Amino acid sequence: MAEFKVTPWDVEGTVDYDKLIAQFGIKRLDDSLIGKLGKHTKDVHYLIRRRAFYAHMYLENVLADVDRGKKIYLYTGRAPSGPVHLGHIIPWMLTKWLQERLGAPLLFQIPDEEKFLFKDITMEETGKWAKDNILDIIALGFDEKKTKIFLDTEYAGHMYKHACMAAKRITLSTAKSVFGFDNSSNVGQLFYTCMQSVPAFLPSIIEGEPTQCLIPCAVDQDVHFRVTRDIAPHLGYPKPSTLLCKFFPPLQGIGGKMSASREDTAVYLTDTQKDVEKKIRKYAFSGGKDSVEEHRRLGGNPDIDVSFVWLTFFEEDDKKLEKIRDEYKSGKMLSGELKQILIDKLNVFLADHQKKREKAKDRVEKFMMRD
């Protein structure tokens, strides 16, 4: 019996990512496939090298088309319900890199109905967060000529017909077994997965011929795309590929998923330098020992230390990271010093991001796609 549970809406317990591969029926990202990707991207992104992205489905199909010089699309998304935190942007950072390296167009879905249907939040609030979150997305540096952002409530006219075609292929029994719906689930929840499927078909619809779609996302989202892959051939579309990452851990400890609704678990992209410093000093779970004396003698455990694990997502330089790991493990580096390295790293990143976020306010219309 698994002592953890992962659905697209909730994560409980400590996630065993290896077991999840079997549970979800996804594939481990292996060296040979990474090598094939690397032929087209020149180098391999550190999030892939370090296996933050650790699983996939059908990546080989996308690479085969890249090999043939055929156009492929990227697709990812964000259901707004609060401010964007560091965990959200992990898949988007990789998406941006893939867009640059493969020269691929990107469809960025903002399902502003999703959290309304699944959580206790109004449409007004999701709409407000959608506008806010779009600034963070643009600030990450996606190519304005190759990126289309759309809200479900504004682009539904184009999507509805295709969502119905998907809906007709998904039975109640499939929805129940795949997503765990029951008699108390509302019918909007049942339909929602169709809306998340449609953008995976849009590349083929836009291009007028079967076109591969690669979806970088957190591993929990593969459940939606498993359904998408089942119905795609019936609708005349290729099965979409996914490139799947682990969750960015909350400050309180590795294993779980960061929640946007508990302020002290996350660092937001709009946090001040002081917020960042305070949160990490106060809440980041430490793998260090209780006393300095003991820490010097026995060393810390980087693998369960949230500050170290966060650095593996944000420190690009392998050599720097290894040096930190060694010094922490040997006891030469103390918890407080490790935390300071993380605080400095994040604050440099956030200062730059927040400038770009301001500039993004005038660029929104360049990215938006509406009915």
- For ligand TRP, the binding residues (CB under 6 A) are 8, 75-79, 109, 111, 114, 196, 215, 217, 221
In this chain, which residue has its C-beta nearest to ligand TRP?
77
CA 203, CA 192: separation in Å to the nearest integer?
Answer: 20
In the bound state with ligand TRP, the residue whose beta carbon lies nearer, of 221 and 335, is 221
Give the tokens for residue 112.
């502003």
**CB-based contact 112:80 (threshold 8 Å):** yes
Distance from chain centroid for Cα 66: 23
In whole angstroms, how close is the CB of 316 to ligand TRP at the nearest point? 23
Closest distance between ligand TRP and the C-beta of residue 194, in Å? 12
DSSP assignment, residue 45? -
For residue 345, the minimal CB distance to ligand TRP (Å) is: 25
Q: Give the residue with the Cβ less far from ligand TRP, 82 or 287.
A: 82
**At what angle are helices 17-24 and 222-235 packed, to 10 degrees?**
30
Q: Closest approach of Cβ 200 to ligand TRP, in Å? A: 8
Instruction: Dig out the tokens for 105 from the structure.
Output: 């167009």
Residue type, 203: P
**Comparison of 260 and 346: residue with beta carbon closer to ligand TRP:** 260
Tell me the C-alpha distance between 302 and 304, whole Å.
6
CB 255 to ligand TRP: min, Å: 20
**Could you give the CA distance from residue 332 to residue 171 in angstroms, rounded to a whole number?**
59
**Considering beta carbons, is residue 237 or 328 the nearer one to ligand TRP?**
237
Residues β-bridged to residue 53: 245
Is 46 or 225 the residue whose CB approaches ligand TRP more closely? Answer: 225
**β-strand partners of 336:** none
